[in-house]
Amino acid sequence: MDAKLQELLDKQEIGEVIQRYCRTLDWLDAEGQASCYWPDARIEYGFFTGRAEDFLPVVMETESNLARRWHMLSQPLIRFHSPTSASSECYGIFGGGRWQDDGTIAGDMIGGRYLDEWEKRAGENGDEWRISARTYILDWKSPLTGQPLFEPDPDFPLPTYRIDAAGHPAYRKL
């Protein structure tokens, strides 16, 4: 029973890393994003192949140049190889937009999948799971035009935050 309970706890921790990955990209939290990967993790995104410590500045600059960004990953399917190594796969949807010359925001919605390898190692807070290798596979892409700006729309009055730099006042460390 103890091994099954530990596996459930480990799956929960891996799932939280995946959610932290999305959240820290969207809020432009570079430190939080770095906590998702081991620095020596192998990364293969097509536009970048290398180590996580070299990937992080590239991906944070890419995300910072967007007017908005939104990442959502599915619950992962996880298989353990040992108490300290695992593989997972999950689907992801990303929506983003850039400022256009006419003052609107347009971009793409992208669907793909993340093939991750995980290792549990000694970290800052004791033993922790982080990504040790990641391959991203692009499955589809569709244009996203007519995105809302950052002022309330009287016809659909929901708040819209402009997150164009780290440290937004609504961001909370969780």
Give the per-residue pLDDT at 81. 98
Distance (Å, whole) CA 36 – CA 71: 15
Assigned domain for 121 exists: yes
Assigned domain for 94 exists: yes
Assigned domain for 156 exists: no
Distance (Å, whole) CA 47 – CA 74: 23
Alpha helices in the chain (DSSP H): 2-26, 30-34, 52-64
Assigned domain for 155 exists: no
How many domains is the chain partitioned into structurally?
Answer: 1
- Provide the CATH number for the domain around residue 64: 3.10.450.50
Q: 42 lies in which domain range?
A: 2-144
Assigned domain for 32 exists: yes
Contact criterion met (CB below 8 Å) for 114 and 73 = yes
Give backbone dihedrals phi and psi of 53, rounded to 5 degrees, phi first.
Answer: -60, -25
Assigned domain for 168 exists: no
The tens-digit pLDDT sequence of the chain (174 residues) is 699 999 999 999 999 999 999 999 999 999 999 999 999 999 999 999 999 999 999 999 999 999 999 999 999 999 999 999 999 999 999 999 999 999 999 999 999 999 999 999 997 778 999 999 999 999 999 999 888 888 877 887 888 888 989 999 999 988
Assigned domain for 86 exists: yes
CA distances from 126 to 73, 78, 131 (A): 26, 22, 16
Give the per-residue pLDDT at 1. 65
Assigned domain for 113 exists: yes
CB-based contacts of 152-157 (< 8 A; 24+ apart in sequence): none
* pTM, rounded to two decimals: 0.92
Give the per-residue pLDDT at 147. 85
Give the per-residue pLDDT at 52. 98
